[in-house]
Amino acid sequence: MPAEPQTHYPLCLTGKRACPPEDCGGVWGYAEFLEAIQDPPEAFYLDQVNQQLKRIR
């Protein structure tokens, strides 16, 4: 896709952080994963990510 002239790049389009990783590390890693998901999930803030990405330029 062509770059949009008024858009600052890089730019994150979406994200949730709401799914388990593809590879949890086998039986032992899965046990740790199950323990870790007992904590509330981290939120993903799209606007904050894009503000941090603007600083890269």
Query: Which residue matches tokens 């799209």?
Result: 46
Mean pLDDT of 21-44: 81
Percentage of the chain modeled with pLDDT above 70: 93
Distance from C-alpha of 42 to C-alpha of 31, rounded to nearest angstrom: 19
Question: Coil, helix or strand for 51?
Answer: helix
Confidence of residue 57 (pLDDT cuts 50, 70, 90): confident
The model's pTM is 0.38
